[in-house]
Chain A
Amino acid sequence: MAVQVLKDRNPGKLTTVTLGATKEQGGTRTKTITVGGDACLPFLHFEGEIPNRPVIAMEVFDRAPVEWNDELKNALGDVINDPAAWAKKCVEEWGADMIFLRLQSADPELGNSSPEKCVQTVKSVLAAVGVPVAVVGCKIDEIDNKVISAVAEACAGENLLLGFATQDNYNTIVAACMVHKHTVIAQSPLDINICKQLNILITEMGIPADRIIIDPSIGGLGYGIEYSYSIGERGRLGALQGDKMLSMPTIGTVGFEAWKAKEANVSAEEFPGWGDQAERGILWEAITASTLIQSGMSIAVMRHPEAVKLVKKNIEELMVPSSL
């Protein structure tokens, strides 16, 4: 007897968001990226359309991340000293769909770069790659407000993805995105209620919902990933029920979280039972990414080229409609 597959009918779907702008659209990108539009739970192809696959943004710093472990630094090579070359290699050699640039050197303790210098860095990255670019600051509100505003103005029309707008600090960055035609990252602290409230506050300023990407905050594998998973799931269920203030696609800084884990960093000599460190770190990042992609994340921000390769393969497989 044939098995009858029960299908849920969903009144809502994810908002569709396009990042980057081509010359005709007022920017300089050679390609744009579109995420969202999903009309079902993640990868349940038989229940609804999934028009856009999840994408990988590779993370680039504007200063050499000397504190990263040697395995990761060696995998990236000399380019970590030059953001433009780093970004170029991410796209051309490692297949990044987009670049996620962290202007960390704006931090007084990590270089104290001026907004003008930060703008130059962003311009050099934009010149080096044709894919869409996300730009975030150094996580100090008063500095980021100056830096990101300057970047927004200097790159008007590029439709950069700019972050981070938070419940305590969103006015300046949202205004900059609205005026200069960029998309904003709305970041909430692993809290679905604040996530929704922030989207309400931001849209009340007049920015349309299709110019917002949600960063719900994530935990890495072994460090609270289950909270991130259930928040992703809750948000997706809300979106499918028609909650427009939870329908924006999500981004997660996977590399940042995964490479903080002890398991990604300690040597095999220290913990012989844990196996080869290089492989372990790659897997830690890849599993963190693929788990969160399974919960509905649209943009995974990653660091290690080998982990990127694994997750890209995983995405390809997940995007093949499942046979019943």
Chain B
Amino acid sequence: MEIIGERINGMFKDIREAIKNKDKKPVQDMAIKQTENGAAWLDINTGPSAENPMEAMKWLITTVQEVVDTPLSLDSTNYDIIEEGLKLCKRPALINSCHADRYKIERVFPMAVKYNAKVIGLAMSETSGIPKTADARLPLAMELVAAADEFGLPMEDLYIDPLILPVNVGQDYVIESLETLRQIKTLADPAPKTTVGLSNISQRCQNRKLLNRTMLVMLMAYGLDSAIADANDDDLMAAAATARVLMNKEIYCDSFVELYKSKRY
């Protein structure tokens, strides 16, 4: 289970202000903290209010790479910004994200191959929105799998997101997301990887951390490989470590939580 640390995002006030004031410290502190707590990737998102998002992305990347060598997930809807960012990444990065629309696939997949990057593909298109049922999401996931094949992206470098909605918005969507995950794993051999934006499940809910970690464990049982999530949430990280052991992905030892966080597995 690879946790993609979500915290370097201009939606958070401390990061938004750091971007505005070119203050490296809050960004670097957050990069170190997430890495030390077990994040396998760090998501980098300038947020919607950055004055110059291209410059902000480049500044965030270089700022983070000054203190950690954790690989980065470049999170933007503007692919020109992602491309400029990819040029700066010291380690192969993750492109976050690509809808199953043909014109987006044609922009993103060749770029991923060119920069040796991985791709988060969403099981939705602009026209479909988030489909309700697993049956409606799977053809979109299949578009992404076929695109990986077509453009020469290794299947293990494609992370398909089955999509989750807040539980208080679409309670009946949760089980559909689980079923979608299970079926994504049957679409190809080797199977594509999977991911979700985990914190989405608990937007505007109480007991957010409890919802997040319970959802994470359920998703893992259905084939989840990674999640964009709060890597600073100790209980969440411990739950991920525990589920890995219970699913026999990891041979038990007494230090299983510390081992997971140290990424020495």
Q: Does B250 contact A (CB under 8 A)?
A: yes
Q: Render B103-134 as a binary contact track against A, CB cut-off 8 A, 1 for contact.
A: 00000000000000000000000000000000
Q: Binary interface profile of A, 182-201, with partner B (CB < 8 Å = 1, else 0)?
A: 00000000001110110011
Interface string of A155-199 (1 = CB under 8 A from B): 000000000000000000000000000000000000011101100
A243-B265 contact, Cβ under 8 Å, with A9-B190, A200-B259: yes
Using a Cβ cutoff of 8 Å, how many contacts connect chains A and B? 34
Bound CA–CA A147/B190 (angstroms): 52
Complex partner residue of A196 from B190, B251, B258, CB under 8 angstroms? B251
CB of B253 closer than 8 Å to a CB of A? yes
Contact B259 A245 (CB under 8 A): yes
Query: Are B254 and A197 within 8 A (Cβ)?
Result: yes
A175 to chain B, nearest CB (A): 20
Asked if A244 contacts B253 (CB within 8 A), the reply is no
| A242 contacts B251, C-beta separation under 8 Å | no
Number of chain B interface residues as a range: 10 to 19
Asked if A193 contacts B264 (CB within 8 A), the reply is: no
> What chain B residues lie within 8 Å of A244 (beta carbons)?
264-265
A246 within 8 Å of B (CB atoms) = yes
Check B12 for interface membership: any CB of A closer than 8 A: no
Which among B190, B249, B251, B254 is the interface contact of A192 at CB below 8 angstroms? B251
A238 within 8 A of B: yes
Expressed in whole angstroms, the Cα–Cα distance for A201 and B258 within the complex equals: 11
Measured CB to CB, the closest approach of chain A to B95, in angstroms, equals: 22
A193 touches B190 (CB 8 A): no
Whether B190 and A245, one on each chain, are in contact in the complex, defined by CB atoms closer than 8 angstroms, is no
Once A9-B190, A200-B259 are accepted as A-B contacts, the answer to whether A243 and B254 lie under 8 Å apart by CB is no
Do A193 and B265 contact each other (CB < 8 Å), given the known contacts A200-B259, A245-B259?
no
Whose C-beta in chain A lies nearest to the C-beta of B263?
Answer: A244
B251 touches A238 (CB 8 A): yes
Q: Which residues of B contact A63 (CB under 8 A)?
A: none
A109: shortest Cβ distance to chain B, in Å? 35
Chain A contact residue count (CB 8 A cutoff): 17
- B255, closest chain A residue (CB): A200
In the assembled complex, the Cα of A234 lies from the Cα of B248 at a distance in Å of: 11
Q: Which residues of A contact B264 (CB under 8 A)?
A: 200, 203, 244-245
CA distance A9 to B189 in the complex (A): 12
193-252 of chain B: CB within 8 A of chain A: 249-252
Residue of A200, A201, A238, A244 ringed by the most chain B CB atoms within 10 A: A200
In the complex, the answer to whether B259 meets A193 with C-beta atoms within 8 Å is no
Q: Which of chain B's residues have a CB closer than 8 A to the CB of A246?
A: 251
Chain A interface, DSSP helix/strand/loop, else mixed: helix
Whole-angstrom distance from the CB of A216 to the nearest CB of chain B?
Answer: 12
> Which residue of A has the minimal Cβ distance to B249?
A241
Q: Which of A9, A203, A243 contacts B251 (CB 8 A)?
A: A243
A192 CA to B254 CA in the complex, in Å?
11
Q: 0/1 per residue, A225-236, Cβ < 8 Å to B?
A: 000000000100
B193 to chain A, nearest CB (A): 13
| CB atoms of A196 and B265 under 8 A apart | no
Task: Give A245 to B265 CA distance when docked, in angstroms.
Answer: 7
Please state if A242 and B265 are interface contacts (CB–CB under 8 Å).
Answer: yes
Q: How far is the CB of B252 from chain A (nearest CB, A)?
A: 5
Q: Which residues 189-224 of A sit at the B interface, judged by CB distance below 8 A?
A: 192-194, 196-197, 200-201, 203
Query: A193 contacts which chain B residues (CB < 8 A)?
Result: 251-254
The interface centre, meaning the residue of B190, B253, B265 with most chain A CB atoms within 10 A of its CB, is B253
Residues of A near B250 (CB, < 8 A) are 243
CB distance from B40 to the nearest CB of A (A): 13
- The distance in angstroms between the C-alpha atoms of A241 and B190, with both chains bound, is 15
CB proximity of B12 to chain A, nearest CB, Å: 33
B253 x A197 contact (CB < 8 A):
yes
User: In whole Å, how far is B242's beta carbon from the nearest beta carbon of chain A?
Assistant: 15
- The residue on B at minimum CB distance from A167 is B254
Tell me which residues across on chain A come within 8 A of B254, comparing CB atoms.
193, 197
In the complex, what residue of chain B is closest to A244 when comparing beta carbons?
Answer: B264
Chain A residue with the shortest CB-CB distance to B254: A197
Using an 8 Å CB-CB cutoff, how does the interface string of A63-83 with B read, 1 for contact, 0 for none? 000000000000000000000
> In whole angstroms, how far apart are the Cα atoms of A107 and B265 in the complex?
39
Contact B253–A200 (Cβ < 8 Å): yes
Closest Cβ–Cβ distance, residue A241 to chain B (whole Å): 8
Residues 1-35 of A at the B interface (beta carbon under 8 Å) = 9
Residues of A within 8 A of B253 (CB): 193-194, 196-197, 200, 245
Complex formed: what's the CA distance from A203 to B251 in Å?
Answer: 17
Cross-chain contact A197 with B255 (CB below 8 angstroms): yes
A9, B250: Cα distance in complex, Å = 17
- In the assembled complex, the CB of A114 is this many whole angstroms from the nearest CB of chain B, namely 37
Of the candidates A193, A196, A201, A242, the one having the most CB atoms from chain B within 10 angstroms of its own CB is A196
A243 CA / B244 CA spacing, docked (Å): 12
A234 & B251 in contact (Cβ 8 Å cutoff): yes
A residues in contact with B190, CB < 8 Å: 9
A245 contact set on B, CB distance < 8 A: 253, 259, 264-265
Starting from the known contacts A193-B254, A196-B252, 7 additional A-B residue pairs (CB-CB under 8 Å) come to A9-B190, A192-B251, A193-B251, A193-B253, A196-B253, A243-B250, A245-B253
* A–B Cβ pairs within 8 angstroms, 5 of them: A9-B190, A192-B251, A193-B252, A200-B253, A244-B265
Q: Which 8 A-B pairs have the closest CB atoms?
A: A196-B253, A197-B253, A238-B251, A197-B254, A193-B252, A200-B255, A193-B253, A244-B264
